[in-house]
Amino acid sequence: MKPVGCRWVFTVKYNEDGTMERYKARLVAKGFTQTYGVYYHDTFAHVAKMNTVRVLLSLAVNLDWTMRQFDVKNAFLHGELEEEVYMSLPPGYRVTGETGNVCKLKKALYGLNQSPRAWFGRFTTAMKKFGYRQANTDHTLFIKHKAGKVTLLIISVDDMIVTGDDTVEIEELHKRLASEFEMKDLGILKYFLGVEVTQSKHDLFLSQRKYVMDLLADTRMLDCKPADTPIVENHKLGVYVD
């Protein structure tokens, strides 16, 4: 079994006002070189179902629940690997006097095919330890009933929404999660799964403007002129014969 390659990914993190926050470097494994059945056996995409998100938002609005948003820093690095995974030395790292050295990974890295499953397995174990029950219809939804009150949590990769009528439990949950993982409290829900959320006293407004603008920026189409149809109107299509 050949060791998995790796590379450094450098990014710049910005604040909400557009100013630079910090430089960030992340070591990413070249998971595309892994072969199914040899390097890994199971994969998992822990993305919340949009129907579940809609129901959660509807409950919060109709029952006047506060929606908090938490984020796990470097979530995949918390996952514990079950398989033996070897990786080549990171670029720029050298061992003097020896050759053929590789790394044996104990924790998951971004880029590995088994990393999402390893991270979500660790998170699920922690939530069950805190007394939460995992929903059967959507495994990214966790529910807890306590003293006639309910707390709901839905997670997508490393981002999560917590809501319910038990504000004390929500605060306790954040403390418990912070004892297991490196957490960041993002405050009131604003952005989740590409949807901007603006909450007033009686209403909830959803928009995907930021998602669309980011998509246009990534494809370098911000300066393109909008068009209702991609071709000329009333254009007659015919069969082309070579």
Assigned domain for 228 exists: no
For residue 98, the enclosing domain spans 6-193
- Tens of pLDDT, residues 94-117: 777 667 788 888 888 888 888 888
- Tens of pLDDT, residues 55-104: 888 888 888 888 899 999 888 888 888 888 888 888 888 777 667 788 88
Reading the block at residue 156, the tokens are 């997508």
For 6, 21, 36, 104, 154, the CA distances from 108, given in Å and listed in that order, are 13, 26, 17, 11, 22
Place of tokens 């995992």: 134
Task: Kindly report the number of other CB atoms within 10 A of residue 174's CB atom.
Answer: 15
- Tens of pLDDT, residues 143-164: 999 888 999 999 988 889 999 9
Instruction: For the chain, give the mean pLDDT.
Output: 85
CA distance 227 to 212: 15
pLDDT score, position 153: 92
Assigned domain for 20 exists: yes
Average pLDDT over every residue of 25-41 = 79
Beta pairing class for 102-107 and 191-192: unpaired
pLDDT score, position 227: 75
Assigned domain for 114 exists: yes
Assigned domain for 29 exists: yes
pLDDT score, position 40: 67
> DSSP E strands: which ranges in 30-168?
66-72, 80-88, 102-107, 133-134, 141-146, 149-156, 159-164
CA distance 28 to 109: 6
Contact 77, 116 (CB under 8 A): no
Assigned domain for 57 exists: yes
For the chain, how many structural domains are there in total? Answer: 1
pLDDT grade, residue 39 (50/70/90)?
low
- Lowest mean pLDDT: which of 6-15, 121-130, 233-242? 233-242
Assigned domain for 175 exists: yes
Please check the confidence at residue 228 and state whether its pLDDT lies above 80: no
CA distance 238 to 242: 13
Quick one: which of 28, 41, 127, 147 has its CA closest to 87? 28
pTM of the model: 0.78
Assigned domain for 123 exists: yes
The three-point CA angle 137-78-142 to 5° equals 25
Using only C-alpha atoms, the chain has a radius of gyration, in whole angstroms, of 23
pLDDT grade, residue 47 (50/70/90)?
confident
Assigned domain for 35 exists: yes
